[in-house]
Amino acid sequence: MSKGKQIGYIRVSTVDQSTDRQLDGVELDKVFTDKASGKDTARPQLQAALDYLRDGDTLMVHSMDRLARNTEDLLRMVRELTERHVTVVFVKDAMTFSGDRKNPQQHLMMTMLAGFAQFERALIRERQREGIAIAKANGVYKGRKPALTPEQITTLRERAANGEPKATIARDLGISRETLYQYLRQPTAV
């Protein structure tokens, strides 16, 4: 075992998902937790963990898909960490990667497993799209609820027509500027 610290990184996709099952029973010196989608590039706790890690430390992660967004991202991140003499352990996958250049099987296994994980995520997205299409065809899928009430939309349009800055309107209504522009592009009800 290395002389450094054991650092845990946990990521769950939604605020209501539990972090309990990830790294359960693993002894850690420090844990960093993000509640963000894997496709989200803004994962402040991952960045904090990467900045915190030092030569000889071990980064413990539940599984490969918790660490990186895709195969390329995973390979780059693990390569950069092992070059810094940080060992990366994927607990669920029972895989350990270190800077050991004498073990090309490590790189091969990581590439294959990451590729399978990326393929699996693509299949899940495709099944989700198919399910939504079927639900829409059957009249079951209603889509996401509108962010604003009809009264708020009227107010939004009036404020925009009066020349008020779009960023201010969006902030006051708790929506993004893109959502504001989508409301402005919609035809007004007569």
Could you confirm whether 13 is annotated as catalytic? Answer: yes
Choice among 2, 13, 18, 37 that is catalytic: 13
What does the block give as tokens for 187? 């035809």
Amino acid occupying residue 51 = D
Cβ contacts of 178 within 8 Å, gap of 6 or more: none
Is 2 in contact with 56 (CB distance < 8 Å)?
Answer: yes
* Residue pointed to by tokens 């790294």: 23
Chain CA centroid to CA 139, Å: 31
Query: Known catalytic residues?
Result: 13
